[in-house]
């Protein structure tokens, strides 16, 4: 009822205003008898503007330039104000659309669509109740046949406004900051993709690249190109062009990046739009290769993200078999690198509207995506869902001010879940879509009023967006980031190595990574709650093992661990860090099998290798007991290898008890290091 009262008042006001003050002025000689030259120029500008107006998209900005020139000659034409309003509605300057569409109503422009467009303008500018009034008036003005075609569209708009009212009343605790002119330009910049620690970013731009940049005749913007940048001393460096292997003469857009930053998924136009993959070799990106037909189809595949282990690809496609428009699909990769037939993610996530810009968090279970459906407050909103108990949870809207009544897309997040990046249109932008950083503030702390706090507050630089009261729910598995360098033990030169990650409890290879060939750097994101074995392999070197047990670690942290690799030479020995026994026992625990399998493969790959397995203990207990225990444990490893076919003549073992400590036995940490199993090369 309140909407009808408001509509009556608004309609009465506009009618009175129109009759009293407003009169439509046509571009005709009768209205401008003394300025035929100006009239011809104005008509010419309108005619040119109409050509671009019909194209839409980026051409609205070009049309607007012509229309505004005609507007200077005659500001009181209904159709011209309507078209200017529509143009502004499709640019970053959408607040200006309101005044022109309102004037078009006052001038009695002969189209009911003006009320719908005015509703859009109000909605985009957070005037949700006014927008609902316009949408309701538009719906009531349609004929029954028109209403059949328009009802769902109008009802969705009204629903979006109702969602917007609730989200704005209950905002999230975040900072939102434009990344600045180093990254953003006066053109559209969007689709940021980052590695897990947020130090490497690639993104898509519509700015001119190269000496002779081409313009897409479809939207009158420069073709998409990819730029890359790195963060140094907490500052993003000026972006650079990654070269012809990435950027072609057509559209090239950043669609996804693996968490280690080595595999880039690229969107390219043609055949509806396909996905390509380029690999970082330590110095440059490889030539992008099209993903197989199981992924790409004759329809559009526009966005993608890899799971942390690289075995699952989630991607967006408008292929048949979905729930409407673009949907999210997934495909898995087998041991031979072959991708399976895609499977739709299902109706819990996908809607009858479009889904877009998908991103899998390094925790491996939290999926972020944009959607025009669910409880969006307008355009695309960003949502998250989690894979728990064999199903995807109901998507959760990230709320305001992250989401706006416009399009909010391409959300990505660092592994610590404290920082996100995405693309949106805001008034503090540089001209088009810009890339913004989101800082998640977490729970609000109790306020303590002290003189010191007031001093600090008075000196602090104000945030570019509002700090809000409620905590945003970003429920992700706590992550541990393992990083460092892999180097030669003697020369300290960086090495290109393969890193295998195992779940010790399940004896499963989870993922494979590689170090940077140029620097030897590596990093791995490890979700909490598991006992991991890490095996590092490089040509002509002994493998190196690490045990990372974070079953008790539920807080995100970072471990710096440089790994020195030993060459395969007689006399060299390494500690087998993932061989486990129960206290006082010599029976191998199942968690040891992953490491033992790696040792077995080393013996198979090097048939002339002879090794000695040695057992060591701490000094707790008597010598005889520890001597026997260390020997039994070494023999257990040898017997495991013999049982699997390794020639016994290639194996020796010995127990040393606590005669060869590598750390102090005065601390528990030292005693733990002394309780170890080693192998030594005795012949090659």
Using one digit for the tens of pLDDT, what is the confidence trace for 402-413?
999 999 999 999
- The span from the CA of 81 to the CA of 296, in Å, is 44
Residue 466 in any domain: the answer is no
Place of tokens 């005749």: 217
Q: What is the pLDDT of residue 348?
A: 96
Query: Higher confidence at residue 531 or residue 28?
Result: 28
What pLDDT is recorded for position 470? 45
**What is the length of the chain?**
684
Specify if 467 maps to a domain.
no
* 514 contact partners, CB below 8 Å, separation of at least 6: 260, 262, 496, 497, 498, 499, 522
What is the pLDDT averaged over residues 222-247? 92
Q: Which tokens belong to 472?
A: 């945003």
| Token pair recorded at residue 113 | 């669509």
**Cα–Cα nearest to 412, from 200, 241, 101, 568:** 200
Contacts of 650 (CB under 8 A, 6+ apart): 603, 609, 610, 611
Cα separation, 176 vs 462, in Å, equals 12
Say if residue 458's pLDDT is above 90. no
214 and 295 in a single domain? The answer is yes
Tell which of 169, 188, 208 closes a domain: 169
Indicate whether 593 and 624 sit together in one domain.
Answer: yes
- Tens digits of residue pLDDT in 384-436: 999 998 899 999 999 999 999 999 999 999 888 889 999 998 878 888 899 99
Residue 464 domain-assigned (yes or no): no
Q: Are 611 and 603 in contact (CB under 8 A)?
A: yes
Confidence of residue 512 (pLDDT cuts 50, 70, 90): confident
Q: Going along 107-207, which residue ranges are E strands?
A: 174-178, 189-194, 200-205
Looking at the fold, whether 202 and 163 belong to one and the same domain comes out as no
Domain boundary among 124, 152, 169: 169
Q: Parallel, antiparallel, or unpaired for β 263-268 and 252-257?
A: antiparallel
Q: What is the DSSP letter of 94?
A: T
Same domain, 165 and 190: no
Dist. CA 10–CA 2, nearest whole Å: 12
Judge whether 454 lies within some domain. Answer: yes
Contact 174, 441 (CB under 8 A): yes
Instruction: Provide the b/e sequence for 112-143 (b: ≥16 CB within 10 Å).
Output: eebbbbbbbbbbbbbbbebbbbbbbbbbeebe
pLDDT at 550: 74
Give how many domains the chain has, as a whole number: 3
Judge whether 83 and 49 are in contact, CB under 8 Å. yes
Pull the structure tokens for residue 520: 């030897």
**446 pLDDT tier (thresholds 50, 70, 90):** low
Q: What are phi and psi of 313, to 5 degrees?
A: -115, 120
Place of tokens 């002969």: 110
CB half-sphere exposure, 519, CA atoms < 13 A: 11
**Could you tell me if 455 and 496 lie in one domain?**
no
Whether residue 53 sits in one domain with residue 151: yes
Looking at residue 465, its pLDDT comes to 44
139, 150 Cβ separation under 8 angstroms = yes
pLDDT band at 5 (very low <50, low <70, confident <90, very high): very low
Is residue 16 scored above 60 in pLDDT? no
Cβ atoms within 10 Å of 13's Cβ, excluding its own: 11
Q: Give the pLDDT confidence of 358-378 residue by residue, as tens digits.
A: 999 988 899 999 999 999 999
Chain segment 543-565, per-residue pLDDT in tens = 888 888 776 544 556 778 889 99
Question: In the structure encoding, which two tokens stand for residue 556, read together?
Answer: 């995100």
Q: What is the mean pLDDT of residues 607-629?
A: 91
* Domain containing residue 596: 480-683
CA–CA separation, 165 and 176 (whole Å): 20
Nearest residue to 472 (alpha-carbon basis) of 86, 175, 76? 175
pLDDT reported for residue 274: 94
| Res. 7: pLDDT tops 60 | no
User: Where residue 443 falls among pLDDT bands split at 50, 70, 90?
Assistant: low
Q: Are 515 and 509 in contact (CB under 8 A)?
A: no
Between the ranges 115-119, 476-480, 658-662, where is the mean pLDDT highest? 115-119
647-655 mean pLDDT = 93
Three-class SS state of 455: helix
Q: Is the pLDDT of residue 459 over 50?
A: no
Q: Which of 381, 375, 436, 429 is nearest to 404 (CA)?
A: 381
Of 20-34, 70-84, 426-440, highest mean pLDDT: 70-84
In this prediction, residue 444 has a pLDDT band, given cuts at 50, 70 and 90, of low
Give the whole-angstrom CA distance, residue 243 versus residue 262. 16
CA distances from 72 to 46, 68, 69, 187, 683 (A): 12, 6, 5, 26, 91
Determine the pLDDT at residue 479: 67
Question: Are 193 and 203 in contact, with CB atoms under 8 Å apart?
Answer: yes
Q: How far apart are CA 530 and CA 532, in angstroms?
A: 6
Distance CA 180, CA 188 (A): 13
Helix, coil or strand: residue 460: coil
Q: Are residues 443 and 497 in the same domain?
A: no
DSSP β-ladder status, 557-560 and 479-488: parallel
Q: Encoding tokens for residue 566?
A: 């030993």
> According to the model, what pLDDT value does residue 259 have?
85
Same domain, 323 and 288: yes
Residue 469 lies in a domain: no
- The phi and psi torsions of 668 (rounded to 5 degrees) equal -65, -40
What are the beta bridge partners of residue 498? Answer: 514, 537
Domain of residue 342, CATH code: 2.120.10.30
Task: Please indicate, yes or no, whether residues 147 and 223 belong to a single structural domain of this protein.
Answer: no
Q: Are residues 219 and 264 in the same domain?
A: yes
Q: Tell me the CATH number at 673.
A: 3.30.1330.60
Q: Clarify whether residues 153 and 14 are in a common domain.
A: yes
Residues 633, 678: contact at Cβ < 8 Å? no
Count of CB atoms situated within 10 Å of the CB of 401: 20
**pLDDT tens figures, 267-299:** 998 678 999 999 987 778 999 999 999 999 999
Kindly state whether residue 471 falls inside one of the protein's structural domains. no
Same-domain check for residues 641 and 551: yes
Residue 157: give its domain's CATH number: 1.25.40.10
Return d(Cα 315, Cα 330) in angstroms, integer: 6
Residue finishing a domain among 169, 202, 219:
169
Residue 470 domain-assigned (yes or no): no
SS3 199: coil
pLDDT at 464: 41
- The predicted model gives 35-59 an average pLDDT of 93
Residues 302/267, Cβ–Cβ less than 8 Å? yes
| Mean predicted lDDT score pLDDT of the chain | 86
Q: Which string of DSSP letters, residue by residue, matches 531-598?
A: EEEEEEE-TTB--EEEEEE-SS--S-EEEE--EEE-BS-TT-EEE-TT--B-TT--SBPGGGHHHHHH
Q: Is the residue at 591 inside a domain?
A: yes
């Amino acid at each position: 009822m309140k909407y009808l009262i408001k509509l009556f008042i608004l309609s009465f006001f506009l009618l009175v205003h129109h009759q009293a003050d407003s009169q439509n002025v046509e571009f005709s000689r009768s209205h401008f008898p003394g300025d035929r030259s100006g009239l011809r120029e104005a008509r010419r500008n309108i005619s040119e503007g109409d050509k671009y107006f019909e194209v839409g998209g980026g051409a609205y900005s070009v049309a607007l330039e012509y229309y505004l020139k005609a507007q200077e000659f005659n500001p009181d034409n209904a159709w011209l104000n309507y078209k200017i309003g529509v143009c502004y509605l499709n640019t970053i300057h959408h607040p200006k659309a309101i005044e022109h569409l309102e004037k078009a109503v006052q001038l009695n422009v002969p189209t009911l669509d003006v009320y719908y467009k005015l509703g859009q303008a109000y909605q985009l500018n957070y005037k949700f109740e006014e927008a609902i009034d316009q949408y309701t008036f538009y719906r009531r003005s349609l004929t029954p046949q028109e209403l059949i075609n328009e009802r769902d569209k109008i009802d969705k708009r009204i629903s979006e406004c109702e969602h917007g009212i609730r989200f704005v009343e209950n905002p999230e605790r975040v900072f939102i900051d434009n990344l600045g002119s180093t990254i953003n330009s006066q053109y559209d910049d969007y689709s940021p993709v980052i590695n897990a620690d947020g130090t490497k970013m690639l993104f898509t731009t519509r700015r001119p690249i190269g000496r002779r940049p081409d313009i897409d005749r479809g939207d009158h913007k420069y073709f998409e190109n990819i730029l890359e940048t790195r963060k140094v001393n907490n500052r993003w460096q000026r972006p650079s062009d990654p070269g012809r292997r990435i950027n072609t003469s057509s559209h090239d857009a950043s669609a996804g990046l693996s968490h280690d930053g080595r595999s880039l998924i690229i969107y390219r136009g043609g055949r509806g739009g396909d996905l390509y993959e380029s690999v970082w070799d330590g110095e440059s990106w490889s030539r992008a290769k099209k993903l197989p037909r199981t992924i790409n189809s004759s329809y559009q595949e526009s966005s993608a993200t890899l799971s942390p282990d690289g075995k699952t690809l989630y991607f967006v496609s408008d292929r048949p078999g979905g729930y409407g428009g673009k949907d999210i699909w997934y495909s898995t990769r087998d041991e031979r690198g072959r991708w399976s037939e895609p499977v739709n993610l299902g109706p819990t996530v996908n809607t009858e509207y479009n889904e877009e810009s998908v991103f899998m968090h390094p925790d491996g279970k939290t999926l972020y995506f944009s959607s025009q459906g669910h409880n969006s407050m307008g355009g695309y909103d960003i949502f998250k869902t989690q894979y728990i108990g064999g199903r995807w949870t109901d998507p959760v809207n990230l709320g305001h001010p992250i989401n706006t009544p416009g399009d909010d897309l391409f959300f990505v997040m660092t592994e610590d879940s404290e920082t996100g990046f995405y693309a949106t249109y805001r008034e503090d932008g540089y001209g088009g879509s810009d890339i913004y950083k989101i800082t998640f503030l977490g729970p609000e702390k109790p306020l303590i009023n002290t003189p010191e706090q007031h001093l600090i507050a008075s000196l602090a630089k104000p945030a570019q967006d509002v700090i809000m009261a409620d905590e945003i729910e970003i429920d992700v598995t706590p992550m541990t980031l393992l990083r460092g360098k892999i180097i030669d033990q003697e020369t300290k030169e960086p090495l290109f190595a393969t890193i295998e990650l195992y779940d010790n409890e399940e004896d499963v290879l989870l993922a494979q990574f590689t170090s940077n060939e140029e620097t030897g750097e590596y990093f791995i994101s490890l979700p909490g709650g598991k006992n991991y074995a890490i095996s590092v392999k490089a040509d002509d070197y002994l493998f190196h093992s690490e045990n990372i047990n974070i079953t008790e670690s539920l807080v995100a942290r970072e471990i710096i661990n440089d790994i020195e690799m030993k060459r395969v030479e007689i006399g060299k020995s390494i500690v087998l860090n993932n061989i486990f026994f129960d206290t006082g026992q010599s029976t191998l625990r199942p968690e040891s099998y992953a490491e033992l399998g790696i040792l077995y493969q080393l013996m198979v790959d090097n048939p002339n290798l002879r090794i000695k397995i040695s057992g060591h203990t701490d000094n707790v207990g008597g010598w005889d007991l520890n001597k026997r225990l260390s020997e039994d444990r070494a023999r257990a490893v040898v017997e495991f290898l013999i049982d699997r076919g390794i020639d016994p003549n290639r194996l020796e073992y010995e127990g040393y008890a606590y005669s060869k400590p590598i750390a102090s036995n005065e601390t528990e940490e030292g005693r733990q290091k002394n309780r170890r199993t080693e192998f030594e090369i005795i012949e090659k």
